[in-house]
């Protein structure tokens, strides 16, 4: 399957200045030569036209780049046809190269071939998708670090220590009569365990930077939820009026706060209502609370707490919450001292307290931790799970050694730990896992 030549449109659909049709495989240059009016030249951009050989119709004026194996993205011959970025010329060119021998690429197949051909490991391949989907400069930096192999290098060091211990124990098992030079294995395993702990401790923050935080802005009607959304976005996105119940449906927007992407969900005020449309909006608000990672609970601090506020408080008992005590520009009347969550006094009208609110939001979702801008953070949930399994097996191996359990049992856990780490970089990966990972890519990448 991976010996044939694939092709796909590698630029987003729609109108644009430039569109690219990419080919990769042993016949890429041959197929391109059939539809291109000029001779291809390795690592040179050649001007010419794409024609339909069956009719001699000119399809588009193009620039074609040919890159010969192995110095390419996929380590195969690669051709990129740069045409005008309209849907029709792109589709016509793709149809031509498919007609003359290429196969339509599967999602992520170009990057999959880069992995299978040894140009990048699996962690680096996943970082390609993270770069495409990065929402903030911080998440882009993490993705670029991953593509550069920073996590892979750290794991290589851990794997090297584990492999050394495993080789030593295996030698003692296989050659019990021979003298195998004694080695101190516990310090090596403890050092590997500490490295895994550091990587795992960074994962919560890393995943936040990568995926963002679904943040529901909740509260009863007319407390300023939509006004707060507009303040955080620095634009008028939600309709704001003095009429209670203006917001009838949830509204989602992404905002970058100190490098963390917050997916803000403005919700309808949660009250008892007989209005059908308003009731549907309130039900969606309840679902938004259930699905949210984080809650901004907006309270009108200029009024005493109402029963509607207390009803919402009960809904939030199991959630991560930060209270925004709004309308600080008015005399305070709400008693919030007995509520179990931290609060920030703000005025969505004037913007007072907004900087502190944003700082507290970031602190809450990062667990109060502060990371240096160049810190290595594990940002992929799959990687975190594999690291945790590796750590668990390593802990068991250490416990077995201290209990003087036979080496055979220790090697079982060390092998399992190595396999878990290999799932991250691709040394021990199944076809099913590869299919799952690359199915998330777009076609053409």
What is the DSSP pairing of strand 294-300 with strand 213-218?
parallel
| Predicted local distance difference test score (pLDDT) of residue 308 | 86
User: Is residue 20 helix, strand or coil?
Assistant: strand
CB atoms near residue 389 (< 10 Å): 16
Q: Please calculate the CA angle 214-219-221 and round it to the nearest 5 degrees.
A: 130
Q: How far apart are CA 134 and CA 143, in angstroms?
A: 8
User: Which regions of the chain carry the CATH code 3.40.50.300?
Assistant: 214-365
pLDDT per residue as tens digits for the range 328-351: 999 999 888 889 899 999 999 999
How many CB atoms are closer than 10 A to CB 307?
10
Numbered ranges of CATH 1.20.120.430 in the chain: 125-206+380-438
Name which of 413, 382, 385 is nearest 397 in CA terms: 413
Torsion, CA 53, CA 58, CA 59, CA 65, rounded to 10? 80
Q: What DSSP line would sit under 147-198, residue for residue?
A: HTTHHHHHHHHHHHHHHHHHHHHHHHHH-TTS-PPP---HHHHHHHHHHHHH
Please give the structure tokens belonging to residue 418.
Answer: 């190595």
DSSP H or E stretch at residue 266: strand 260-266
Identify the segments of the chain with pLDDT beneath 70.
1, 177-178, 180, 236-250, 269-283, 368-373
| CATH T-level assignment (fold) for domain 6-105 | Gyrase A; domain 2 (3.30.1360)
**Which one-letter DSSP state was computed for residue 441?**
S
> Which pLDDT does position 279 carry in this prediction?
53
- What is the model's pLDDT at position 373? 65
Domain 214-365 architecture: 3-Layer(aba) Sandwich (3.40)
3-state secondary structure of 22: strand
User: CATH 3.30.1360.120 region(s) of the chain?
Assistant: 6-105
- 108: number of CA atoms within 13 Å, CB side? 19
**Burial of residue 152, with CB atoms counted within 10 A of its CB: 0-12 exposed, 13-18 middle, 19 or more buried:** buried
Report the pLDDT value the prediction gives residue 370, as an integer from 0 to 100. 61
From the list 280, 376, 300, 381, the residue with the least C-alpha distance to 345 is 300
On the CB side of 352, CA atoms within 13 Å amount to 11
Q: Could you report the per-residue pLDDT of 15-32, keeping only the tens digit for each?
A: 889 999 999 999 999 999
Question: Which class is 125-206+380-438 in CATH?
Answer: mainly alpha
């Amino acid at each position: 399957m991976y010996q044939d030549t694939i092709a796909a449109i590698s630029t987003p659909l729609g109108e644009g200045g430039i569109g690219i049709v990419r080919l990769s495989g042993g016949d890429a240059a041959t197929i391109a030569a059939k539809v291109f009016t000029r001779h291809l030249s390795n690592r040179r951009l050649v001007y010419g036209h794409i024609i339909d050989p069956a009719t001699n119709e000119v399809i588009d004026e193009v620039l074609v780049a040919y890159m010969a194996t192995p110095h390419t993205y996929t380590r195969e011959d690669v051709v990129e046809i740069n045409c005008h970025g309209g849907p029709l010329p792109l589709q016509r060119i793709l149809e031509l190269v498919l007609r003359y021998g290429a196969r339509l690429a599967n999602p992520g197949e170009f990057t999959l071939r880069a992995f299978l051909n040894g140009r990048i490991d699996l962690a680096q391949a996943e970082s390609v998708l993270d770069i495409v989907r990065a929402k903030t400069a911080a998440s882009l930096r993490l993705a670029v670090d991953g593509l550069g192999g920073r996590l892979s290098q750290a794991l290589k060091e851990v794997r090297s220590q584990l492999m050394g211990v495993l080789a030593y124990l295996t030698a003692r098992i296989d050659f019990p009569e021979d003298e195998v030079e004694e080695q101190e294995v516990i310090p090596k395993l403890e050092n590997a365990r500490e490295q895994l702990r550091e990587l795992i401790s960074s994962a919560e923050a890393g995943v936040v930077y990568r995926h963002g935080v679904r943040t529901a802005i909740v509260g009863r009607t007319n407390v300023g939820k939509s006004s707060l959304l507009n303040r955080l976005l620095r634009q008028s996105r939600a309709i704001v009026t003095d009429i209670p119940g203006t917001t009838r449906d949830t509204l989602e927007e992404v905002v970058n706060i100190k490098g963390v992407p917050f997916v803000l969900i403005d919700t309808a005020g949660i009250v008892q209502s007989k209005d059908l449309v308003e009731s549907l909006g309130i039900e969606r608000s309840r679902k938004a609370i259930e699905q949210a990672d984080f809650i901004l609970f907006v309270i009108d601090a200029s009024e005493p707490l109402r029963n509607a506020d207390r009803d919402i408080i009960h809904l939030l008992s199991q959630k991560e919450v930060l209270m925004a005590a709004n309308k600080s520009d008015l005399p305070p009347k709400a008693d919030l001292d007995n509520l179990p969550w931290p609060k920030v006094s703000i005025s969505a009208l004037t913007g007072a307290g907004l900087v502190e609110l944003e700082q507290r939001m970031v602190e809450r979702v990062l667990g109060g931790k502060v990371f240096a801008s160049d810190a290595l953070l594990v940002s992929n949930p799959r990687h975190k799970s594999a690291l945790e399994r590796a750590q668990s097996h390593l802990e068991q191996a250490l416990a077995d050694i201290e209990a003087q359990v036979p080496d055979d049992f220790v090697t079982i856990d060390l092998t399992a730990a190595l396999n878990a780490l290999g799932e991250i970089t691709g040394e021990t990966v199944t076809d099913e896992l590869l299919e799952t990972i690359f199915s998330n890519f777009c076609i053409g990448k």
